[in-house]
Structure 1
Amino acid sequence: MLLRPCRFIVVLAFAILASLHLAVAQGTAPAATSLVDKQQAILSQLATSTDTLEKELNQDGVDDATLVDIRLKLEGVSQKALETALAFRTRTAEINARLEQLGPVPAEGQPPEPDSVTAERNALTAEKAQINAVIGSAQSLSVRVSGMIERIATMRSALFRSLFTKRYSLSDTFSGKVVDDAKTDVGRFYGAVSSWLSFALKFKLQAVLAATLTALALALVMMIAGRRIFGRMFVADPAVEDPSYLSRLSVTFWSTLLPTAALVVFLASTIFFFNYYNVLRGDIGVFLNAFAAFVSIVFCVNRLSNAALSPHLPNWRLIPVESGPARWLVRLATAMALVIGFNGFLSTVNEQLRSPLSLTIARSFLAAVVFGVILILMGLVRPFRTHEGVWRPWPAWLRYSAYSVGVFVIAVALLGYIGLALFVALQVVVTGTILVIAYIGFLSARAIGAEGGFGESSLGRWMTEKGKVEETTLDQLGLAVSIALNVMIVVVFLPLILLMWGFQPGDIQAWGYRLATGVTIGSVTISAIGILSGMVVFVIGYFLTRWFQGWLDGSVMARGKVDAGVRNSIRLAVGYAGVALAGLVGISAAGIDLSNLALVAGALSLGIGFGLQNVVSNFVSGLILLAERPFKVGDWIVAGDVSGTVKKISVRATEIETFQRQSVILPNSNLINNAVGNWTHRNKLGRIEIKVGVAYGMDARLAHETLLEIAREHPLVLKNPEPFVLFVNFGPAAMEFEIRVFLADITNGSGVQNDIRFAVLDRFAQEHIDIPSTPRAMPPVETLEPWPSDDEKAEMEHAERERERAEAEEEKRRKPGRRGRKPDPA
């Protein structure tokens, strides 16, 4: 009875599986077909867009900005075509895997395969052919787009060269017709502006007022915030007689940058709100943009020259010139900016009004000649004066450079190369101003980042007074501020310089996109966004690890009464594991292939097997030292017989400089496996001892009080913990005392000991307290006779010779008698 239900269940299960397989097989094909159709439609749209862009590229009179815009659109088409090809990656892998499972078609003579297998293989092969066709179309479109991009690069190079090589005829430049054309253009320009003003005042007065007041409010907010933040670094204080170099740099940089930025914000906001409220029409908008650029250039040059030369405040002058020449240099620099800026504004007006070519040439020629004359006049200025009252010119290289550029611009303009002359003049004024501001900013950043530089600034002094920040922290903050300033200067000023040298905003946008998405070097792709993402992921993982360590130690193991040593081991192990995991995840988020790390790990394992145990031991020990930081660079440590200051901690060894200026290189494994004393581990607070002996018979209490007073009077001895004098022992020759004092910086211990010992000698002499000394056993001193004179010496020698002669004669007399005598039996 039980077999029938079981058989029925088995049959039902097979039927359900078969229906599911059929449904999946029927649903996969339409899904794949829909993917192919979708990507084919996208490619068709991209091909249509490419045809349109190619028509725009083939038009006559295409300018550089249009070429850049077309190139950006083509790069977008190429990126989308690549995405279309990559969309089939997963499906292609599935098809290939399934075809491998199905195997090849049975050869002749072999049993035929089921019809379902043949049908599935044919369907997969047909789908793969469709996918390959779409991928081939995407590749063809990408090749076509790449060719168009190369053509655009060639066209832009030709346009840039034509700016310098095109020569204009000056025969009709100063004829009466040019004057008539100028009068006509002035009338047309006046009519256009006056008609717009009457329209704006009659119908858009509220919108004009609202836009202007809003833009003015934004500029004021920026100025007020800048004054609040930068304070003394913004305005030169006349009361300061001798400002530091950093202060002068900061005032020059910020007093130029912030007002210029506020003015640019005001002008840009005004134009934006005018467009938002439909106040501007096409030609007036172009005129207003050109006028805003003209005003910004003149204002920036005037602010920079006034800040650097400071005609009215000689103490704040960044360049050491005299006041009279400083005023003339400011005027000439402003006049130069006026000429170039006004010429640029008139160039835009002439383009909008479609002025005659002769008028444009005459205007550009006059601007180039006036610029050259002003530059030569600046070189002729004698800005320096000696103590004898003799005026000296600029240095030779600077003076002759100004002469050369001025003469070159005038000569090139006279030859008819107006475009080249104006380009050089524009670079001298605008690019020169940008470079000078950037250079001053770099100097300010370097001065702030120098040791003690941030502490000398107004912000550093304020932080020291209010927050009691240590010098080390101030130096670290100064380094961070210096790096931030350098990055800001590069990000702000580099695009401006590129724009001045003929690059378009689209170029900078494309470079920024490539830098953000990734730059491929060989097989490695470096992406700014990827690196930042990896850093953010690692920081998040690091702080999560620290939080988990604290929670595990304080909430779990503390409540479980776990042993302190076990708790510390677990906490450190969790910390290492968490940091390592955060590092791996951060590396993966940054887009770095972890297989490279696997190769490195394999190489290390092989090296360990061939005898690199000590190297790896020192390497791991170095990592532990860097992670745990039992000592750091600058600490005073004692490792065995070595005592000195840590100079460098590397992954293999640690460099210690002894007090005899000897560098000792200790392997990191020795510092991990052996005891190391650190006098300045958490701080430099430490205790020193000075032993003093007092002779028996002296007043011991008076000696104790005197020693305690000496210890308390020293300026480097801390009041808390207070100094202490210990009566140590009754020694064999003296009563032994020990002065124990605490110092905020233990490295000053030798000097303090020296001072206290001298103070003990002085005070003990005043108090009539004796310090005994142990007597030494001295050899008896013999009485020396006076040194004999020459006559006495001659007599002594004569007496010695007589004595020797007498002894010799006595010996001769003894020998005959001794020769005949018998020997004594005793």
Structure 2
Amino acid sequence: MIFRLLRLILVVIVAVASQPWHGAMAQAIGHGSAQLIADQTKVIQDLTTKTDGLEKKISDPGQDDAELVDIRLRLENNSRAALNSALAFRSRLNDINSRIEVLGPPPAQGQQEPAVVANERAALTAEKAQINAVVASAQNLSIRISGVVDRIATMRSELFRSVLTKRYELTDALSPQAFSDAHDQFTGLYKAVASWLTFAFKFKFQAVLAATLMALALAAVLLIGGRRLFGRIFEPNPSVEDPSYLSRLSVAFWSTLLPTAALGVFLASAVFFFNYYNVLRGDIGTFLNALLAVIGMVFCVNRLTNAALEPRLPNWRLIPVETDPARWLVGLATAMALVLGLNYFLSVVNEKMGSPLSLTIARSFVATIIVGVILILMGLLRPFRARDGSWRPWPAWLRFIAIGLGLFTIAATLLGYIGLALFVSFQVVVTGTILVTAYIGFLSARAIGEEGGFADTSVGRWLSAKSSYEDTALDQLGLVVSIAINLMIVLVFLPLILLMWGFQPGDIEAWAYKLATGATIGSVTISVLGILTGIVVFAIGYFVTRWFQGWLDGSVMARGKVDTGVRNSIRLAVGYAGVALAALVGISAAGIDLSNLALVAGALSLGIGFGLQNVVSNFVSGLILLAERPFKVGDWIVAGDISGTVKKISVRATEIETFQRQSVILPNSNLINNAVGNWTHRNKLGRIDIKVGVAYGSEVKRVHALLLDIARAHPMVLKNPEPFVLFANFGAAALEFEIRVFVADVMNGSTVQNDIRFAIFDTFEDEHIEIPSTPRAVVETKKHEAWPIDDDKMEVEFAERERLEAEAAAEQARLARTKRKGRKPDPG
């Protein structure tokens, strides 16, 4: 209670103290909010009026599928505009709610609050109510539009079913009157085309010529540029007797896609330039568009069948059929595409010229019957030859599908279901062509993505010859190319298939918009465009980081003669920082709120607490190693039983290569928590110790002098610090000496040790200095074990035995020296 009273007094003091300023500010804010409310109310009213008009259009029975799609797109635009109007109040609503929270809860019944606070609370509550009313209107309009869109979807489904299931009477279509109507139709078409040609060549000849030449130039750029870029990648090479499967796939795919794309560019640009120069009039433009579409379809089918079957070059065929059946298949497929193309073109002519329905039915009847017959002929064809010379048919499943589709098309046509038969025929030709081309593309992408596949292509061979790419890099690049080809196929061929199956461009546009803006699942919005943007941003940041690493290392630190270990540490630190920054920017560009990752961070912390201690320990230890640099890349270190050269320092582990060329991956925590010896920490100067023993009775000062001369004579031994020879010990079997020398590079220690030992052996041999081999300590041990010292007789026997063994060893050494010098042994 006391706290509420103090809070109320504070609010009153602030309100009274700032009343002039606050009143002016509140008045300005209230005026701005009122203007915003008025503007958005007007927007929603306009959207409601537009929605009413579009909803009335739906009731018109003459609407076709394309018009319904256009209406749906406009309605969805209205819905988005309404929701944007509602979102315009988000900032102001947050301000109002924050201010009301500062004012506190309203007083209980029977209590009063200051007039200033009460007036402000009332104004804020009224403004919030007005805003909520506008937001509710926008939401209601969006809900209403959603219902209308669902109604349009139902109407389109019914319209599609009615087209396919409508039955026509064939009696009028097959009567002699149909021939008369067809004659009149062709006469009218001839007159229209002749009239246009006369007009074009008389008044627009230069425009027609310029448009044609520009269209040809664009097509030539694509076709010739493709040939220059890819060489013979899209045409078979007759000199190759046994091309690889990947080569055949690539030739089949690109020899279909690139020429068809070039022809499409030519036809589309020709129409564009004709329209630009006002060469086409309404009906001729419609006829020309239809005719060019037919030409493109027939050309694509012909190119695909020729590429897959290759009647001229049997070794380049994808399907192992014989030559004559291959020619038949190419001809039948092209004829089927030509029949359907002409039927489509005539349907456009009939629609534009207002032909009777009987002529449309007769035309479709003839086209579907011909297509059905062609399908049956394809299914009955025997394209394979057995070893005994007999002809074999297609596989049973493929043969039955072709014959079944042909019989179904003919039966549907004879029963009067012309629309269904025409739809099936069209999908067999067009969708079949698209699917076969896409399937060949997928096979090509899979072959390129396999190990060694990209290196076998012409581009891969060119890169291998012109650059320093290794096989591993080429395989990785082939995987990227494979993914890019698959993505291109999906983006190009999927919309084509949808268009062939009755979907309108507006449908694809709507789906693309939903993918781009994102689909909301709960409180999470998934946007394909946002994800792709994030990936692209991360990839750019990653490559920029790698470039900056190379530039910093090769151009800045290398010129500054920076130590190799320092360069490695800086390069790694820059790399990790750049990749982390690129990841954060990519996540933000993808539209992911980093605050939503708090739950993930909490789960990760829990995982660290339970099972990731070692990983985190190694990570932190790696950062310490990079910062403190107790060793660097190239140092010779000793860590426990492991001795070798440091090859790589990462944040989790360090790679050490032993002198046996074994790579040891040592966790960084072991290097931080345990003792590590570094032979090359400050510099490569190091001391080498070489132990040698001489027999008792040798002249020790002479031995000392000889060893010192040997050490000083070696070229790798430093003069300062000078070599030193230590008389180390009276050993059990020998007088022990130790040579201590310093070398400039301790990595050469093994070579120096080897050379000095050879020199010692040769010098001692020349000076007749014996290096004993009898283990005196072992003899002493056996003596104590076999004969107790307190027995005098046994002591005398042991001394005699020891004398005899020493004389025998001396004699053996004398004989060995004599033999090495090439003299015959003295028998005495």
Q: Which interval holds the TM-score relative to the shorter structure?
A: 0.7 to 0.9
Pairs within 5 Å for 1:311-390: 311-390=311-390
Cα 1:226/1:564, change in 2 over 3 Å: closer
Q: Is the 1:106–1:113 contact (alpha carbons within 8 Å) kept by the matching residues of 2?
A: no
For 2:330, the aligned partner's letter is: V
Q: After superposition, give the CA deviation of every residue in 1:22-65 in whole Å (9 maximum; x if it has no partner).
A: 43222212111111111111111111111121121111121111
Pairs within 5 Å for 1:614-693: 614=614, 616-617=616-617
> 2:43, 2:366 → 1: CA distance?
55
Q: How much does 1:123 deviate?
A: 2.3
Q: Match of 1:249?
A: 249
Q: Match of 2:454?
A: 454
Q: Match of 2:524?
A: 524
Q: Match of 2:591?
A: 591
Q: Match of 1:167?
A: 167
Q: After superposition, give the CA deviation of every residue in 1:213-266 in whole Å (9 maximum; x if it has no partner).
A: 111111111110111112121221222222222221111111111111111111
Cα 1:611/1:177, change in 2 over 3 Å: closer
> 1:316, 1:547 → 2: CA distance?
43
Pairs within 5 Å for 1:390-789: 390-542=390-542, 572-573=572-573, 575-609=575-609, 613-614=613-614, 616-617=616-617
Q: Match of 1:97?
A: 98
Cα 1:591/1:330, change in 2 over 3 Å: same
Q: Is the 1:68–1:507 contact (alpha carbons within 8 Å) kept by the matching residues of 2?
A: yes
Cα 1:50/1:623, change in 2 over 3 Å: farther
Q: Secondary structure at the match of 2:170?
A: coil
Is residue 229 from structure 1 mapped to residue 206 from structure 2 by the alignment? Answer: no
Q: How much does 1:126 deviate?
A: 2.0
Q: Match of 2:63?
A: 62
> 1:478, 1:544 → 2: CA distance?
22
Q: How much does 1:72 deviate?
A: 0.9
Is residue 180 from structure 1 mapped to residue 164 from structure 2 by the alignment? Answer: no
Q: Secondary structure at the match of 1:233?
A: coil
Q: Secondary structure at the match of 1:232?
A: coil
For 2:605, the aligned partner's letter is: S
Q: How much does 1:307 deviate?
A: 1.4
For 1:72, the aligned partner's letter is: L
Cα 1:549/1:127, change in 2 over 3 Å: same
> 1:470, 1:557 → 2: CA distance?
27
For 2:469, the aligned partner's letter is: V
Cα 1:88/1:731, change in 2 over 3 Å: same
Q: Secondary structure at the match of 1:237?
A: coil
Q: Secondary structure at the match of 2:232?
A: helix
Q: How much does 1:589 deviate?
A: 2.3
Q: After superposition, give the CA deviation of every residue in 1:711-756 in whole Å (9 maximum; x if it has no partner).
A: xxxxxxxxxxxxx999868779x99xxxxxxxxxxxxxxxxxxxxx
Cα 1:539/1:243, change in 2 over 3 Å: closer
> 2:380, 2:280 → 1: CA distance?
46
For 2:87, the aligned partner's letter is: L
Q: After superposition, give the CA deviation of every residue in 1:136-190 in whole Å (9 maximum; x if it has no partner).
A: 1101111110010000110011111112211111122210111111111112222
Q: After superposition, give the CA deviation of every residue in 1:425-450 in whole Å (9 maximum; x if it has no partner).
A: 11111111111111111111111121
Q: Match of 1:754?
A: none
Cα 1:226/1:728, change in 2 over 3 Å: same
- In terms of mean alpha carbon deviation, does 202-211 or 133-142 score higher? 202-211
Q: How much does 1:277 deviate?
A: 1.9
Q: Match of 2:89?
A: 88
> 2:559, 2:465 → 1: CA distance?
43
Q: Secondary structure at the match of 2:388?
A: coil
Q: How much does 1:560 deviate?
A: 11
Pairs within 5 Å for 1:789-804: none
For 2:209, the aligned partner's letter is: L
For 2:246, the aligned partner's letter is: L
Q: Secondary structure at the match of 1:172?
A: helix
Cα 1:564/1:20, change in 2 over 3 Å: farther
Q: How much does 1:272 deviate?
A: 1.2
Q: Secondary structure at the match of 2:525?
A: strand
> 1:469, 1:554 → 2: CA distance?
20
Q: How much does 1:544 deviate?
A: 6.2
Q: How much does 1:557 deviate?
A: 9.4
Q: Secondary structure at the match of 1:319?
A: coil
For 1:337, the aligned partner's letter is: A
Q: How much does 1:667 deviate?
A: 7.8
> 2:381, 2:313 → 1: CA distance?
20
> 1:481, 1:90 → 2: CA distance?
46
Q: Match of 2:22?
A: 21
Cα 1:651/1:346, change in 2 over 3 Å: farther
Q: How much does 1:110 deviate?
A: 3.8
For 1:534, the aligned partner's letter is: G
Q: Match of 2:724?
A: none
Q: Secondary structure at the match of 1:171?
A: helix
Q: Match of 2:34?
A: 33
> 1:380, 1:171 → 2: CA distance?
31
Cα 1:467/1:653, change in 2 over 3 Å: closer
Q: How much does 1:70 deviate?
A: 0.8
Pairs within 5 Å for 1:74-85: 74-85=75-86
Cα 1:177/1:315, change in 2 over 3 Å: same
For 1:102, the aligned partner's letter is: L
Cα 1:209/1:24, change in 2 over 3 Å: same
Is residue 134 from structure 1 mapped to residue 134 from structure 2 by the alignment? Answer: yes
> 1:284, 1:477 → 2: CA distance?
49
For 2:486, the aligned partner's letter is: N
> 1:725, 1:608 → 2: CA distance?
50
> 2:251, 2:380 → 1: CA distance?
28
Identity %: 71
> 1:726, 1:298 → 2: CA distance?
84
> 1:419, 1:495 → 2: CA distance?
23
For 1:372, the aligned partner's letter is: G
Structure 1 gap segments, 5+ residues each: 1-13, 626-637, 644-649, 657-663, 677-723, 736-771, 773-826
Q: Match of 1:307?
A: 307
> 1:301, 1:378 → 2: CA distance?
15
Structure 2 gap segments, 5+ residues each: 1-14, 626-637, 644-649, 657-663, 677-750, 763-815, 817-828
Cα 1:77/1:560, change in 2 over 3 Å: same
> 1:488, 1:473 → 2: CA distance?
22
Q: Is the 1:653–1:665 contact (alpha carbons within 8 Å) kept by the matching residues of 2?
A: yes
Q: After superposition, give the CA deviation of every residue in 1:70-125 in whole Å (9 maximum; x if it has no partner).
A: 111111111111111011011011111112223345456545513x4333333222
Cα 1:28/1:148, change in 2 over 3 Å: same
Q: Match of 2:215?
A: 215
> 2:391, 2:674 → 1: CA distance?
71
> 1:347, 1:621 → 2: CA distance?
77
> 2:410, 2:76 → 1: CA distance?
42
Q: Match of 2:294?
A: 294
Q: Match of 1:48?
A: 49
> 2:408, 2:294 → 1: CA distance?
24
> 1:544, 1:336 → 2: CA distance?
54
> 1:29, 1:537 → 2: CA distance?
42
- In terms of mean alpha carbon deviation, does 199-208 or 544-553 score higher? 544-553
The alignment's C-alpha RMSD in Å is 4.2
